Chains A and B, each alone.
Chain A
Amino acid sequence: MSIAPSTSPFEPVVLAFTCNWCSYRAADLAGTARIKYPPSVRLIRLMCSGRLDPAFVLRAFASGADAVVMTGCWPADCHYRIQNVKALRRFELLHRVLVDLGIEPERFQRVYASAAEGQQLAAAFTRIVDEVRSLGPLAWGRQPGIAAESEAPADEPSTPALEGVPG
């Protein structure tokens, strides 16, 4: 359980996109029922998971999110009939791209939650936060280039290593 203030040094930031008709209301329900989940989860409301533009996810990661969750109606229960299917298609392709860009698969997940499933949604959030906490921060460090730049201001040319150079 990571609901209690965690002793772990690292607390991830998880951005969850919610559907106005199901998961957002599930989150409201979790609230009304005082069901707890980690504060590191932050919600953004869309009208439908089908509105989730891959650019939003990329922007979230670029702006410091350690994980992004796409939540929406159960298949076949979409408030807009079949639009969550389009969301699913984009999710699958975007997931492949993110993995190719070196982001762990656990950092981009999808969760189904009907308006009645506050409990389940909170549980999923808790689980995801636990997973991401054990992954650690989104490792820009895995790309030394970016790391290096983050240390040196962009306009100072930095020097590559000299290993293996004689003399």
Chain B
Amino acid sequence: MNNRVLAYIVVAVGIAVFAILAATQGFAVTMGAFFTIGIFSFLYKDNPYYKFSEAVFVGISAGYWFVSLFWQNMVSKLYMGIQAAYNTTFVEHAGWDDRWMMLLGGLLGLFMLLRLFPKIGWLSRWSLAVIVGATAGLYFINYFVSNGIIQLGAIIAPLQSFTEAGKLDWWGTISQALLVAGTLSGVVYFYFSKEHTGAFGGVAKIGIWTLMLTFGASFGYTVMSRMSLLIGRMDYLVGTWLGLIR
């Protein structure tokens, strides 16, 4: 009973506060702040305020994508594309237009929708097959080129580096050597068909250390990034909404 009363009071007070702020600070920004705090409240614990914000978020964002995909892909790409192709071929008699290929996309898309009809739903597998096949084919080359080959090419360099004075730069040389060693041992760590024991295991060990240093570096950067976002949010609450900064 008491809890219920308390809950009502809390809600009432909350509404009052937001109402006042909406009047003073503007409705739009207050609405933004309302949801901002709603999400933050999850940090304390799962609660109705968060559940509400979450529900709104899911609905709004799903709808957002639904609308975007409809106008951008369904209308602008497919419908307008076919229309343009029709013009070139049948109105201007300019022959084939690549945009006719969109029809194939439309067909594959329809196959997807056929899942709604269990009898012929298996046709959707054909669309999936195209997607998966094309993705496999594209990645097969592209990732390997940018992340395999070119990285290999970048490592290949003489170990020793020189200072402007032309003297041997010991530190630079050592670093370069470490770079090569680290990369190689890292690759060794991923080696599947040999137990990580003996000398081989030792190299693999160095490999995992290198990876750990890498992860550490990423972590450091990520902390930086995440904190920036929080700063941005706080700036929104304290500055943009409540106007407390300057």
Chains A and B are bound partners:
no
A interface, CB within 8 angstroms of B:
none
